A and B are shown apart, each in its own frame.
Chain A
Amino acid sequence: MKKLCFYIPSILAVLVIVFCFTGFLFAPNNPDHVDVTLHFLAPCREYPFGTDEMGRCVFSRVLYGGFTTLGIVLFGSAIVVIVGILLGLLLGQGKAGRNVIFESLLNAVTAIPPVAYLIIFISAWGNSISTMVVALTISLVLRMVKLIKTKTEIECQKAYVLCAVASGASVPRILFVHILPNVIRDALHFVCLSGGEMILSISGFSFVGLSLGDNVIDWGAMVSDSRNYIHTSPGLMLYPMLFIFLCVLSFNVLGCQLEKGGYIHA
């Protein structure tokens, strides 16, 4: 029973994220359907969150926006986890990762925070979904490689790895069977925390006017579009904001739970 209580926050967080990501499948209305006669409707059975200034269904738009924003974050994070862990393990184990030039290069690249990478990429390419995915992936992958590399180097010193070597385990077996379970929790913790941060930055940039594209629905743009109507219909701004809050909160909760341990038994 106590164990179950411990898992509840994580399960809730995962549910929220899955709901926000796949919710667009259950959207009651077409998010781009404009019907000006139905603008600023109060919430009703057909439009659960009401309608916006052009008569579009806010609930459907929020769900589609979640697909865009979370899609960027989840897709980027998946690449980051896979590539980052692979590279990190290989570099941490071999001699190749130990030379001075490589290390200072890695330090130099990771000295710049992810937000700054987003700014650099946006400033060169303009904001779009592909820019966001590329910028997010590149900035986080390098940090992940550094994290896993350092962790692997520490693990390699430990007795169990020496024992595994002595009993004749091959290098891939040592890396993936023995070391990987010990580093994966740090990797997931890192991804969860940066995922929340990324949602904030992505919606922030589209909020200040660097939209993700002309016909792309996303939470930041929804909030900034509805700011003009905050006094007449505050729901327009509050619903997407609530979903941003819930998603970031879920990522943070997941990160905390992973840090506390018990989620994955290594």
Chain B
Amino acid sequence: MRIFRTFTFRKIVELILTLFLVTIISFLLMKISPVDPAEAYSRRTFSVFGQEQVDQLREQMGLNQPLLIQYGNWVRNAFHLDFGTSLFNGHDVLTAVSNAMGISLSIVLLAALIQAVGILLVGSLCYLCHARWPNILLTALCIAGVSLPPFFFASTFIDIFAVNFRWLSVTSNSGIARYLPAAICLSISGIAFYSQLLAKNIEHEMNEDYAMYARCRGLSESRILIHHAVPHALAGMVPSFLQMIGISLAGSAIVERIFSLPGLGYTIIDSVLYRDAPMIHATILFLAFFLVLCNTLADIPQRFFQKGQESKEASV
């Protein structure tokens, strides 16, 4: 129980530290950035503007204060869930970010689901026909899948299915059909990478002593595979898979952009193009929060496995 408490405590400290670091980085970088948000704003809104107008705007936005005070103000407001309004369209940042977060999460979770199924299928297929030609073909496909950029899949997907066949319209779908193409494109590289790993793990497990023992007991090969080898092989991959879900939230920026889905990554790139400071800070904060959350989730099963092993060893 004490171990559990220190574990939770350490995780919370790490979470706070990460969020603190990320936000301070985004403020620091914004400060030493060559483009000034106030100037960018006035260039966008007014056709003619003078230096004093920009200065006035800067004062309004609080950009002329020292960095620490700006940061302090932002943190105080963030605690009240007030992230200001967007400089670009005047919308409330929190609503915009939570909308975007919803879209991104649906894409990423859908992609995770597709990946889980895909990895299981392709990985076991790779193992089942190892050292035969389908395996060579599958391995070659997997290597290609890892080495080709996701934006290639996405743009080709649109070019083929939306432009040539007109099977789907890129903009006006609703429900799951809206997220499915993006999720598929996002999940290809994950499937390619992890199915190879799974095949390797299963092969390793099938050569372990316990598999030998099961064979001696007269269990069929498929029963050993399904009941013993695959669960063991999967258990080793769960933590890194959970971490990968977090990473794909960041990585989905490019795919979202191509499919014009206004998710988190899309919002970040948009706010970069418009130099929309409050939006940038808020989106980065949420991104970091989700990443750390995924990392923590990935640690929990690892802890349990370790504990199980320790208690097993202790009982022996």
Contacts and interface: CB of A to CB of B under 8 A. Distances in A.
A binds B: yes
Interface of A: 104-105, 107-109, 111-113, 115-116, 119-126, 196, 200-201, 203-205, 207-210, 220, 223, 227, 230, 241, 244-245, 248-249, 252
A252 B152 contact: no
B250 A115 contact: yes
B13 A124 contact: no
B237 to A, nearest CB: 17
A121 B33 CA distance: 10
B26 A120 contact: yes
A200 B257 CA distance: 15
B254 A119 contact: no
Q: Is the interface of A mostly helix, strand, loop or mixed?
A: helix
Contact of A249 (B22, B143, B159, B284): B143
A124 B269 contact: no
Contacts, number: 122
A205 B149 CA distance: 11
Contacts of B10: 104
B25 interface: yes
B123 interface: no
A205 B147 CA distance: 16
A204 B149 CA distance: 7
* The 7 A-B residue pairs with the shortest CB-CB distance in the complex, in nearest-first order: A124-B29, A108-B17, A208-B257, A108-B18, A248-B147, A204-B254, A249-B147
A124 B14 contact: no
A112 B152 CA distance: 25
B230 to A, nearest CB: 23
Given A104-B13, A112-B22, A227-B155, A196 B284 contact: no
Contact of B254 (A104, A113, A120, A207): A207
B297 interface: no
A199 to B, nearest CB: 8
Which bucket holds chain B's interface residue count?
Answer: 35 or more
A119 B149 contact: no
A212 B137 CA distance: 37
B258 A230 contact: no
B63 interface: no
Contacts of A223: 151-152, 155
Contacts of A108: 14, 17-18, 21
B136 to A, nearest CB: 15
B188 interface: no
B176 interface: no
Given A120-B29, A252-B143, A113 B14 contact: no
Contacts of B283: 123
B18 A252 contact: no
